[in-house]
Each structure stands twice: as C-alpha cells, then as structure tokens.
C-alpha cells in the first residue's frame, strides 16, 4: 500500500482498485488506547485490515474499488477529552475549534499534531465516492463468550443518556432524630438505584447503570441531607431509551415525594443510536454464514469510530469474542482461532463486495 499520515494524524494505507471510477472502501479502527490498556481494543481492527489486503495481494485478487486502511489517531479522547478526533476529521465533522482544545499539560490539539508530524493532506474524505466503512473490533463484553460464538455482526451502536440525579432532604444527628421524623436522602437514592436495575431487567436490550453515588455530607453520625447519583442508560432503539429515561425520572419523583424530599434531575448528555448499513451488514452476515460460524447479531453498547464515520458513509462492524469480556485492561485477550474466523469473514466481505461492484 501507499502509506501517508493525514493532517489529523491518521495513518492511511491505500490499495488502488482496478476501476478508478469504482470508489473506495474504508477499513480500519483506532491506534490509540486508554491508559493501562490491553493490546486489542483498536489495533486489532487495523492489523486485521492490513492482513486482508496482504492476502488479496498474495493471491493476486484485484478488487474493482480501492481499499483504504485507516489507523485513527485518537478515538478514546483521553488526552483532550474529545472522542473520535481522528475519525471525525475523516468524516469532515471535526469542528475547527477542537484544534485549540488544550490537554491538562497545556498542549493544544494543533500543537500535538505538529509535534507528532501530521501530514499536509486534509483528513476529510467528504465529497469522495465511498462504498462504506467496515470496522473489526473486539466485543469488549461477555455475550459472544456466553453464546459460544467467535464473531458477531453488529446491528447498531446504542444511543446513551447520562443524567445527574440529586435527592435533597434534611441532615440531622444520627443519634437523636427518631426514624419517623427523618428525611434521609440516601435511603431515597438506594430505592432509586434498585428501581434503575429493575427497569433495565424488565426491558430487553436496555442497560442502565448508577456508577457514581454519594451521600452528603458524608459522615457516619449524620443523616444524609442530600444524595447524588450518576445515571447512564443505553439502548439500540432511541425510543426505548427515551421512554426508559422518562419512566425513571417519574419513578425518582415518586420516590422523592414519598419521603418528602426534593428531586433535581439534570440531563448531561444524550446521543442517538447509530444503525449499521443493511447492505454492508448483509454482506458481512453472508461471509459469516459461508465460514460456518453461528449467525449472532449484537448491538454495540460502546461507542466506536463507526459512529463518526456513519456521518460520512455507510458503516458496518464485526465483533470478535474477547476473553471474559475484559477490555480497557492489560488482561484483554483474544483467541487466535477467533481472529482467524474474523479475518476469513472480512476477506469474504471484501470479495463479495468486489463481485457486487464489478
């Protein structure tokens, strides 16, 4: 491949197709990781794409369309707090103001790109003839292991709502205020946490998490006058997620009213679900079936570069089983046999798309 680094620091490998008018298929994933990460979240998708190109070259298979392998520069958003930096640049949706965002050490995105040696060529692929974007990625969850399947075709990337929930009652002495006269905010929060769990259990595909909670002022001998929690709700169907959030808010209000407390509910973030392209997804599924692996379809609960690329072109994703569903951790691992299945699927996908385009 002809290789370059674009203006957003993405590594781009280009394999020309036999028909210059047939457009370009994008493959890849991200090269950055979280801190103290595993080896597979991101890089596996880049290396798998390179392997597929190598196989095409070795077997002298020429596809009508060009294949570009993208290694995105910054997906996790750890340094600048801006996820999908590389892929948003490729999609042409990166706000110019993002270049002036500074990391904790004061270095801006612009300065970091210059220091890294980003190339002169603009990252945006907007306006080009593109066939789509396909990303291979580890599942980062335990479902494939539980189903006993090596790979899954991703149906959608779940939308998410985040909120901060605060119950306010009255602090008091833990020894002198009788139980019947208390307005204990932590007890309301405890009710709410279990209501969140019950709501998610009652709706297929819904996941809801209270990941941070605190009782204030936070002393063993003081009745909590306030209690604060984060809420994270995800589902592949926006209507289901929005309905669940509405119902949880009503439930929180009822819990507060029942204990004579005040409720504050602040929605901090809401991102819509991203559907994968039916045509590309069908080609991936056909490649899975041809290899004899079970047909498993999964929504992705985590975000990926495909979210950003979906604003540019048709997208599809293939998940690979990872041990114990462990990710964002040095223990992250994949079985080479599963990777072999995934490579076979990606190769089958490319050849099928080639036949369709040719």
Backbone angles phi, psi at 244, to 5 degrees: -65, -40
- Least distance CB 244 / Zn ion (angstroms): 26
E-strand stretches of 221-284: 222-223, 226-235, 262-271, 274-275
- Specify the residue, 46 or 248, whose C-beta has the smaller distance to Zn ion: 46
To Zn ion, the closest distance from the beta carbon of 314 in angstroms equals: 20
Which residues ranging from 7 to 26 are in contact with Zn ion (CB under 5 A)?
A: none
Task: Give 84 or 349: the residue with its C-beta nearer to Zn ion.
Answer: 84
CB of 41 to Zn ion, least distance (A): 4
Judged by beta carbon, residue 156 or residue 165, the one nearer Zn ion is 156
Pairing of strands 159-168, 226-235: antiparallel
Alpha carbon distance 154, 316 (integer Å): 7
Distance in Å, CB of 165 to Zn ion, minimum:
29
Burial pattern 119-135, b for ≥16 Cβ within 10 A else e, equals: beeebbbeeeebbbbbb
Token duo for residue 349: 């996908």
Give least dist CB 44 to Zn ion, A: 9
Size of the site for Zn ion (CB under 5 A): 2
User: Which C-beta is closer to Zn ion: that of 42 or that of 299?
Assistant: 42
**Secondary structure E strands in the chain:** 2-5, 11-15, 24-30, 66-72, 130-138, 151-157, 159-168, 172-173, 207-209, 213-216, 222-223, 226-235, 262-271, 274-275, 297-300, 315-320
Please report how close the Cβ of residue 333 comes to Zn ion at its closest, in angstroms: 15
Q: Which is nearer to Zn ion, 41 or 139 (CB)?
A: 41
Distances (CA, A) of 30 to 72, 260, 277: 4, 49, 20
Nearest distance from residue 247's CB to Zn ion, in Å?
31
- Tell me how crowded residue 327 is: count the other CB atoms within 10 A of its CB: 21
Please name the residue that has the structure tokens 């994968």.
Answer: 276
Q: Which is nearer to Zn ion, 139 or 184 (CB)?
A: 139
27-86: contacts with Zn ion (CB under 5 A): 41-42
Residue 33 CB, nearest distance to Zn ion (Å)?
8
- First-to-last C-alpha distance (Å) of the chain: 21
Q: Which is nearer to Zn ion, 256 or 320 (CB)?
A: 320
Q: How far is the CB of 272 from Zn ion (least distance, A)?
A: 20
Identity of the residue, 42 or 71, whose beta carbon is nearer to Zn ion in the bound complex: 42
d(CA 273, CA 190): 29
Q: Which is nearer to Zn ion, 13 or 42 (CB)?
A: 42
Q: Taking the C-alpha atoms of 151, 155, 156 and 157 in order, what is their torsion angle to the nearest 10 degrees?
A: -10
The footprint of Zn ion on residues 299-328 (CB under 5 A) is none
What is the distance of C-alpha 309 from the center of its chain?
A: 12
Q: By CB under 5 A, name the binding residues for Zn ion.
A: 41-42
């Amino acid at each position: 491949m002809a290789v370059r680094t674009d203006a957003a620091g993405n590594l781009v490998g280009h394999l020309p197709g036999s028909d210059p008018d047939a457009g370009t298929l994008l493959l890849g994933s991200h090269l950055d990781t979280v801190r103290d990460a595993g080896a597979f979240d991101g890089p596996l998708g880049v290396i798998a794409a390179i392997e597929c190109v190598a196989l095409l070259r070795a077997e002298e298979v020429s596809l009508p369309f060009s294949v570009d392998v993208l290694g995105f520069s910054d997906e996790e958003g750890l340094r600048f707090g801006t996820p999908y930096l590389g892929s948003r640049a490729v999609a042409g949706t990166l706000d110019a103001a993002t270049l002036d965002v500074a990391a904790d050490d004061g270095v801006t995105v612009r300065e970091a790109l210059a220091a890294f040696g980003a190339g002169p060529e603009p990252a945006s692929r907007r306006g080009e003839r593109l066939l789509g974007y396909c990303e291979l990625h580890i599942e980062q969850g335990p479902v494939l292991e539980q189903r006993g399947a090596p790979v899954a075709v991703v149906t959608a990337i779940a939308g998410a709502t985040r909120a901060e929930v605060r119950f306010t009652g009255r602090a008091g002495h833990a020894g002198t205020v009788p139980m019947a006269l208390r307005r204990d905010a932590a007890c309301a929060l405890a009710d709410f946490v279990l209501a969140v769990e019950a709501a998610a259990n009652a709706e297929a595909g819904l996941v809801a998490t209270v990941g941070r909670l605190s009782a204030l002022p936070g002393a063993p001998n003081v009745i909590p006058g306030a209690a604060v929690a984060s809420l994270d709700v995800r589902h592949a169907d926006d209507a289901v997620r929005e309905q669940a959030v509405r119902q949880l808010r009503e439930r929180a209000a009822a819990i507060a009213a029942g204990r004579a407390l005040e409720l504050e509910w602040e929605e901090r973030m809401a991102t819509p679900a991203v559907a994968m392209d039916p045509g590309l997804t069908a080609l991936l599924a056909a490649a899975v079936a041809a290899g004899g692996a079970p047909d498993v379809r999964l929504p992705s609960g985590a975000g990926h570069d495909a979210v950003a690329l979906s604003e540019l072109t048709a997208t599809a994703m293939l998940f690979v089983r990872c041990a114990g569903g462990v990710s964002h951790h040095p223990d992250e691992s994949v079985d080479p046999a599963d990777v072999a299945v995934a490579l076979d699927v990606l190769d089958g996908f490319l050849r099928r798309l080639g036949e369709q385009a040719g």
